[in-house]
Amino acid sequence: MGDIPGAREELDRLGRALRARMVELITDLTPGADLGLLFLDEPTVADWHEPLRHHYSALLRGERPASVGAADITSRAAALLDSAGWQVTTSQDGDGPRRWSVLTGRRGDSSIEIRVGHHMSAVMFSGQTPALALRAPEEFTWPEPRCTPETLTPGYLLCYECDGLGACPECGGRGWVPDQVHGRADCRACRRQRVCVICRGAGQLAASLLSPYQRGYYRRPG
Ligand SMILES: [Zn+2]
Ligand SMILES: [Zn+2]
């Protein structure tokens, strides 16, 4: 099991730095927001392609004080980020009174986005660290079969679907299969059950309980 030396420590450091910056912004811009909701406890998977890459991310809604306008919050947020050494870009989402001012701050590969509603008091804070691989990619090892011709229970036959594997023969018991676009896709054969859907993981089937249809699988050709 190959943990990449120092990767978790580096990600934790980035997570702490992100949280500290977000706490500072939220406390200043939307005082009274519940900072306990700013979960940054465990990194989550940002990219399911091998090797998996993890990041810390957080989302929090604050309320603009009644006395402060949306434009003031936006410029104050930009000034705070800028003075902390973050690169800031500003844009608009929508137009008219129902628009949001969107402010994006970047530092390294970490980012913070602040959306300020002009039509409501909501200020949405979101942030994420870069996504890092924490472990070296591992070659998948196919599981040992649950049953072989030598270990069959008397009166039983090897499962015609998995040939005794027991685990789902499509995904090898992982519940997922590699997917080019998303990295992983749910296994359609077992629907994440991980075991063979015919023998339910036993690898063998009682000959006396086979349906006529199932018996067809054991008939030798010719
Ligand atoms: Zn089976
Ligand atoms: Zn499967």
Residues 120 and 63 in one domain: yes
Residues 166 and 199 in one domain: yes
Residue 203 lies in a domain: yes
Range of the domain at 175: 156-218
Q: How many CB atoms lie within 10 A of CB 197?
A: 15
Residue 146 lies in a domain: no
Domain boundary among 133, 164, 196: 133
pTM metric for this prediction: 0.79
Residues 105 and 47 in one domain: yes
188 CA distance to ligand 1 middle (Å): 15
- pLDDT class for 40, splitting at 50, 70, 90? confident
Residues 129 and 160 in one domain: no
CB-neighbour burial class of residue 71 (10 A; exposed 0-12, middle 13-18, buried 19+): exposed
Residues ≥6 apart with Cβ < 8 Å to 180: none
What is the number of structural domains in the chain? 2
143 CA distance to ligand 1 middle (Å): 13
Residue 144 lies in a domain: no
Judged against a pLDDT cut of 80, whether residue 220 lies above it is answered with no
Ligand with smallest separation from the Cα of 201? 1
- Taking residues 58-80, what's their average pLDDT? 94
